[in-house]
């Protein structure tokens, strides 16, 4: 069907340019009016870093001081995944095995790289405690490994059922929520880790988050792009 390269009418474009330009000027003035050399919350974070259970300030902010931000963030990620999966669930065959049809060089490279990427993810997860890294970075590497495998023609293994996949996707959020409710029922505030066990709880939550985020990113990619389905469709056309 014909497709028109879309463009709004000229009056709309001029009005939008005027509004956006004016807003940009206001934004720039507000940014330049910020006080120089303001310490912000950095000293507060520095003072309490000892009690947070981890040694890296950003991880301490994400998993301890503002843990509810991270909990809601993973909730948003899970919700988006539920939305994407329910939009694509009507089409069967998305997960059909097509490994035997894949490019042999590409699939050999993916087989070689995927275990290394898993090791890198494990390292990033462990490094997040004291250096740049953490659950989301590690999860993205797992997600990238999954995307690479899926682009090279590898399908979801048969033993990973739909239920298992959904359980892993929800697992990180459920664990986070469980810890939050657990410390609340033990008399603390929301996500106020008891002294001494902060590190254990953070590592537990981060590990489960990593696995969940990896599964979520792969599911989002496959549900949106469905390369396996695409490959199979092309195969059937060529037949």
Partner 1 sequence: MTTFAGLSQTDLYALAGAALFVIGLYGLITRPHLLHKVLALNISSGGVFLVLVGIARRVPGPVPDPLPHAMVLTGIVVTVSSTAFALALAKSIYTETGHAVLEPDDLEETGEVSRG
Please give the residue ranges that form the binding site for partner 1 (CB under 8 A): 1-10, 12-13, 16-17, 19-21, 23-24, 27-28, 31-32, 34-42, 45, 57-58, 60-62, 66, 69-70, 73-74, 76-77, 79-81, 83-84, 87-88, 134, 136, 217, 220, 223-224
CB of 186 to partner 1, least distance (A): 26
Q: Minimum CB separation from partner 1 for residue 56, in Å?
A: 8
> How far is Cα 176 from Cα 208, in angstroms, rounded to an integer?
9
| Residue 91 DSSP one-character state | S
Using the minimum distance from each CB to partner 1, give the nearer residue, 183 or 218: 218
Q: Count CA within 13 A, CB hemisphere, residue 214.
A: 25
Long-range contacts of 9-18 (CB under 8 A, 24+ apart): none
Would you say 2 or 196 has its CB closer to partner 1? 2
H-only helix segments in 53-97: 57-60, 67-88
Q: Position of tokens 């657990």?
A: 182
Cβ proximity to partner 1: between 42 and 99 the closer is 42
How far apart are the C-alpha atoms of 239 and 237, rounded to whole Å? 6
For residues 209 and 216, what is the distance between their CA atoms, to the nearest angstrom? 10
Query: Rounded to the nearest whole angstrom, what is the least distance from the CB of residue 12 to partner 1 in the complex?
Result: 6
Give min distance, CB of 27 to partner 1, in A.
Answer: 4
Q: Which is nearer to partner 1, 56 or 232 (CB)?
A: 56
Residue appearing with tokens 């890296």: 56
Taking alpha carbons only, the member of 96, 113, 114, 112 closest to residue 153 is: 96
Contact 190, 144 (CB under 8 A): no
Shortest Å distance, C-beta 89 to partner 1? 11
Q: How far is the CB of 216 from partner 1 (least distance, A)?
A: 8
- Of 88 and 207, nearer to partner 1 (C-beta) is 88
Spatial distance between the Cα atoms of 135 and 141, rounded to a whole number of angstroms: 10
Nearer to partner 1, 107 or 221 (CB): 221
């Amino acid at each position: 069907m014909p497709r028109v390269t879309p463009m709004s009418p000229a009056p709309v474009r001029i009005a939008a340019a005027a509004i956006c330009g004016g807003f940009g000027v206001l934004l720039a003035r507000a940014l330049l009016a910020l006080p120089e050399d303001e310490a912000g919350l950095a000293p507060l974070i520095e003072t309490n870093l000892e009690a947070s259970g981890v040694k890296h300030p950003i991880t301490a902010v994400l998993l301890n001081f503002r843990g509810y931000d991270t909990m809601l963030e993973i909730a948003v990620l899970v919700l988006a995944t539920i939305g994407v999966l329910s939009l694509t669930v009507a089409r069967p065959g998305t997960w059909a095995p097509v490994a035997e049809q894949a490019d042999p060089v590409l699939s050999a490279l993916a087989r070689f790289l995927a275990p290394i990427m898993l090791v890198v993810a494990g390292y990033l997860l462990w490094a997040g405690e004291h250096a740049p890294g953490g659950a989301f970075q590690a999860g993205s590497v797992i997600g990238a490994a999954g995307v690479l495998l899926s682009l090279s023609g590898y399908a979801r293994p048969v033993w990973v059922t739909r239920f298992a996949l959904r359980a892993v996707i929800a697992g990180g959020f459920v664990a986070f929520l469980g810890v939050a409710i657990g410390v609340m029922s033990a008399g603390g505030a929301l996500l106020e880790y008891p002294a001494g066990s902060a590190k254990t709880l953070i590592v537990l939550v981060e590990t489960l988050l990593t696995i969940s985020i990896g599964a979520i990113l792969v599911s989002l990619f496959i549900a949106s792009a469905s390369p396996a389905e695409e490959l199979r469709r092309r195969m059937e056309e060529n037949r």
